[in-house]
């Protein structure tokens, strides 16, 4: 199609009116670019259309443009920039509240945990005390039971030794079985000795002292050296650690005769 | 650089300076198109305002290869105006306006508008255009119809329609 054909076809009017399909519009533009006559015709048609449209109304008021500018000014700030911070702020507030609540709960639970730990420590301590007491009672019960057995045994001779001039309040019992030669000693209210000294038990046979072993003061029954039949009395002296072959008579603290 | 090229360059750069230039060069013509479609000056004003906001919003979509800038602006404005005529509010208002028009017996031709001083002569002449030429021109121009659609709507052969449009535009250009 040459320039004159284009101009007389009516296509250019439709082109300016926006009534051409896209492919045809692109073809018209190409033709206009190559041929200044077509370009001039298009511009003339457009000018006529604009003048015609303008004749149908008055110049719009400047407030219209101001309205458009403020509208696009508002639209230009990305809506996300306004909405998102609110969104984020809501999350931030929620997160802060949760963090604060979490911190409070941490304190509460830490406090409770500490209390619980303290209670457990106390209970453990009580428990070991009770266990120790229980062991101690058991020991004393066993000792008492053993002592009661000795008391109930007709073969046993019970010798009650009493304090001498050196220790008037001292007491001790000797459970002696002449048949088995077993000697058991139960001390009562014997004072502790300074380092390097021990008590020593003696059996008196025919007026002669026989060593029955050294001991330290104790609540329990102490098994001493065997003493065969024939002892008339038992005595306790303070001797150097390990004991002496013969008693130091000035150091006698206890003495008791065997009941005949 | 022509005004048109300057506006296209600004639109491409997403420069808001394009909008006042569009308003200055095409505002009144677009207003005329809108007013011709919605038949109400206040509503035409709203249509133009909405259209210019859309122009800014879709600035990146304008492709000079596919058509003239004015054609693109015209399409946006025409579609906005036609959309407006399809709302319930519009129909209600139109029916009221027409009732009033009927009462005062005012003609509704282009000549009945009150154009600006410099256009008085032109408007009078437009009013004197051959009625058939004017209708053919406006059907394509304001209705956004293709040749074929316009011909069918007006009940004339395609060749006749083209001739009438051509004649109308020739006449207009002569008058200007």
Instruction: Give B38 or A201, the one with higher predicted confidence.
Output: A201
Provide the CA A195 distance to its chain's centre, in angstroms. Answer: 48
CA atoms of B101 and B82, how far apart (whole Å): 21
List pLDDT tens digits, range B91-144: 655 555 444 443 333 334 443 344 444 444 555 666 667 778 777 777 777 776
**Which residues 76-95 of A are in CB contact (within 8 Å) with B?**
76
**Which residues 156-175 of A are in CB contact (within 8 Å) with B?**
none
Point out which residues pair with A212 in neighbouring strands: none
Spell out which residues of chain A touch residue B151, defining contact as CB-CB under 8 Å: none
**Chain-chain contact of B57 with A55 (C-beta, under 8 angstroms):** no
Residue B112 pLDDT: 39
Q: Mean pLDDT, to the nearest integer, of A65-70?
A: 88
pLDDT tier for residue A127 given thresholds of 50, 70 and 90: very high
Of B31, B71, B176, the CB nearest to A60: B31
Exposed (0-12), middle (13-18) or buried (19+): which is A182, by Cβ within 10 Å?
middle
**Chain-chain contact of B126 with A52 (C-beta, under 8 angstroms):** yes
**Chain-chain contact of B45 with A60 (C-beta, under 8 angstroms):** yes
| Number of helical H runs and strand E runs in chain B | 9, 0
Look up tokens 């409770």; give the residue.
A112
User: Could you tell me the two tokens for B165?
Assistant: 């449009």
Instruction: Give A127 or B104, the one with higher predicted confidence.
Output: A127
Shortest Cα–Cα distance, B92 to chain A (Å): 23
Best of A54, A59, A72 to disrupt the B interface (most B CBs within 10 Å) is: A54
- The proportion of chain A whose per-residue pLDDT surpasses 90, expressed as a percent, equals 38
**Chain-chain contact of B67 with A42 (C-beta, under 8 angstroms):** no
Residue A75 pLDDT: 59
Assess whether pLDDT exceeds 60 at residue B38. Answer: yes
pTM tops 0.90, yes or no: no
CA atoms of B139 and B145, how far apart (whole Å): 7
List pLDDT tens digits, range B75-102: 899 889 888 887 756 665 555 544 444 3
List pLDDT tens digits, range A159-176: 999 998 888 888 899 999
Instruction: Give B69 or B136, the one with higher predicted confidence.
Output: B69
Residue B117 pLDDT: 41
Residue B102 pLDDT: 39
Average pLDDT, chain B: 76
**Which residues 1-20 of A are in CB contact (within 8 Å) with B?**
8-10, 13-20
In eight-state DSSP terms, residue B16 is T
Q: Mean pLDDT, to the nearest integer, of A196-214?
A: 92
Of A29, A58, A73, the CB nearest to B65: A29
Residue A79 pLDDT: 44
HSE of A253, CA atoms in CB hemisphere, 13 A: 21
Residue B101 pLDDT: 40
User: Could you tell me the two tokens for B8?
Assistant: 């296209």
Q: How many CB atoms lie within 10 A of CB A200?
A: 24
Assess whether pLDDT exceeds 70 at residue A84. Answer: no
**Chain-chain contact of A57 with B115 (C-beta, under 8 angstroms):** yes
Q: Does A66 touch chain B (CB under 8 A)?
A: no
Instruction: Give A54 or A81, the one with higher predicted confidence.
Output: A54
Residue B93 pLDDT: 56
């Amino acid at each position: 199609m040459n320039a004159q054909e284009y101009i007389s076809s009516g296509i250019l009017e439709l082109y300016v009116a926006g009534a051409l399909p896209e492919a045809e519009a692109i073809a018209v533009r190409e033709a206009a670019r190559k041929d200044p006559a077509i370009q001039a015709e298009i511009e003339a048609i457009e000018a006529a259309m604009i003048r015609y449209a303008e004749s149908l109304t008055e110049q719009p008021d400047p407030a219209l443009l101001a309205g458009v500018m403020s509208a696009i000014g508002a639209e230009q700030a990305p809506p996300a920039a306004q909405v998102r911070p609110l969104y984020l702020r809501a999350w931030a507030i929620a997160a802060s509240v949760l963090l604060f609540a979490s911190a409070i709960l941490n304190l509460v639970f830490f406090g409770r945990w500490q209390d619980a730990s303290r209670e457990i420590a106390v209970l453990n301590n009580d428990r070991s005390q009770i266990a120790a007491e229980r062991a101690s009672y058991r020991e004393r019960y066993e000792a008492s039971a053993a002592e009661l057995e000795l008391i109930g045994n007709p073969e046993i001779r019970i010798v009650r030794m009493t304090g001498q001039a050196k220790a008037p309040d001292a007491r001790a019992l000797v459970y002696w079985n002449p048949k088995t030669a077993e000697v058991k000693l139960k001390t009562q209210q014997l004072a502790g000795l300074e380092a390097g000294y021990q008590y020593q038990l003696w059996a008196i046979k025919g007026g002669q002292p026989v060593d029955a072993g050294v001991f330290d003061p104790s609540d329990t029954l102490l098994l001493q050296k065997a003493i065969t039949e024939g002892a008339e009395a038992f005595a306790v002296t303070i001797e150097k650690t390990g004991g002496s072959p013969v008693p130091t008579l000035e150091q006698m603290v206890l003495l008791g005769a065997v009941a005949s | 650089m022509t005004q048109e090229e300057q506006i296209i360059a600004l639109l491409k750069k997403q420069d808001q300076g394009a909008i006042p230039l569009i308003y200055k060069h095409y505002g009144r013509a677009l207003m005329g198109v809108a007013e011709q479609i919605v038949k109400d000056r206040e509503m035409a004003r709203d249509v133009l305002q909405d259209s210019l906001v859309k122009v800014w919003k879709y600035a990146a979509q304008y492709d000079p290869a596919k058509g003239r800038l004015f054609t693109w602006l015209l399409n946006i404005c025409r579609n906005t105006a036609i959309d407006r005529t399809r709302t319930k509010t519009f129909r209600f208002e139109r029916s009221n306006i027409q009732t009033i028009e009927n009462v005062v017996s005012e003609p509704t031709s282009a000549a009945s508008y009150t154009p600006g001083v410099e256009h008085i002569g032109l408007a009078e002449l437009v009013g004197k255009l051959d009625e058939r030429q004017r209708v053919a021109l406006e059907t394509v121009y304001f209705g956004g119809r293709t040749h074929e659609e316009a011909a069918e709507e007006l009940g004339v052969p395609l060749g006749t329609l083209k001739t009438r449009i051509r004649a109308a535009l020739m006449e207009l250009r002569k008058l200007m």
